[in-house]
Amino acid sequence: MSRFQMPPRVAPSPAASEPGHQNAAARLRSSREAQARLLAERRGEAVRGEEDAGKGEGQEPSAAPHNALEAKREGTDPEGGEGTTGPAAVLQAQDGETQKEKVTRKEKLVVMFRLAATVEQRIASLPGTQGVSKDYVLRALAKEGRAVLSRLALREELTGLIQLAREFRKLGATEKTVGEAMTVYVRQEIIAAMHAALEDPWIIEPRAAVVGAFLAAIVTRLIEARRAG
C-alpha cells in the first residue's frame, strides 16, 4: 500500500460557494468562446482571401478597362487593330463621304433648249411623226435629251458630241430656233469637261449656255439616229 499514493485533493472552486463568482466565471467562458469563434471566422476569411488572390495572380483587373478607355480616346482598337471610332477616324470618314458627294453630285441648271433651224426642218421626215405636231415631237426629243444629259458620267461620253456642240455655238441667233427654258441635272465634272471641250477651261462662259449647246448636240444626234433607222 505504501507504493500507492493518494492523489492530492483538488480544492473546490471558490465560485462553487458564491453565486456571484459563478456568474463571473460564466461570463468569462462566454466571452472566451465568442472571441474564439470570431477569431476562427477571421482566419477563415483570410484563408479564402489568399485563395482568391492565388487564383487571380498575374491579372490586372483595372488594366483592361483603362486600356480600352485610352484606346477609345486615341481612336485605336485595344485588340491591336486600327480603330474606327476615334475623332480622327470620324473626320476621315466624313471627308471621304464629302469627296464622294463632290464626284457624284449633280448641278441643277435652267437652260434654253434650242436647235439649229436646219435640224428642226428634219423633224417632219422622222418616222412615226405623222399626225402629231412639230412642237409635240420637239418636247419628246427634249425629254429624251435631258435624260441622256443626266446619265452622262464619263468625259469620254462627250467625244461624239463635241463637234456638234461647237458647230451649234458658232450659229447666229437667226440660225437657231426659238428657245424654251427647261431644267436639267448634270454632274459637276461633266460640266467642267464640257467647258474644256469648248475651249473654256477657266469656265468663263455661262454654264447654262455651254450645257445648252451639248443638249442641242444630243437631240441632233437623236434626230440623225431616227432618220438613219
Alpha helices, H only, the chain = 19-55, 63-74, 87-104, 117-120, 134-151, 162-170, 188-197, 207-228
pLDDT in tens, 143-186: 999 999 999 999 999 999 999 999 999 999 999 999 899 999 99
Residue 61: what pLDDT?
47
- Identify the CA nearest to 171 among candidates 210, 135, 117: 117
Distance separating alpha carbons of residues 222 and 228, to the nearest angstrom: 10
pLDDT in tens, 77-122: 444 444 444 555 544 555 555 555 555 789 999 999 999 999 999 9
Three cell numbers written together for 99: 469627296
CB 113 within 8 Å of CB 190: no
The residue that leads in pLDDT, 128 or 203, is: 203
Mean pLDDT over 38-62 rounds to 64
Q: Please give the C-alpha separations between residue 62 and each of 22, 24, 55, 66, in angstroms, as whole numbers.
A: 57, 53, 16, 6
Distance separating alpha carbons of residues 145 and 184, to the nearest angstrom: 10
Average pLDDT of the chain is 78
Domain ranges of the chain: 15-53, 99-228
pLDDT of 49 > 90? The answer is no
Distance separating alpha carbons of residues 82 and 36, to the nearest angstrom: 59
Residue 136: what pLDDT?
93
Q: Which helix (H) or strand (E) holds 110?
A: strand 106-113
The residue that leads in pLDDT, 44 or 59, is: 44
Three cell numbers written together for 26: 460564466
CB 166 within 8 Å of CB 198: yes
pTM flag (> 0.85): no
Residue 217 CB contacts under 8 Å (≥ 6 apart), including other chains: 161, 162, 164, 165, 168
- Identify the CA nearest to 194 among candidates 184, 209, 180, 177: 209
pLDDT in tens, 113-151: 999 999 999 998 898 888 899 999 999 999 999 999 999
Listed ranges 25-29, 63-67, 120-124, 140-144; the one with the highest mean pLDDT = 140-144
Residue 129: what pLDDT?
86
Residue 5 pLDDT class (50, 70, 90 cuts): low
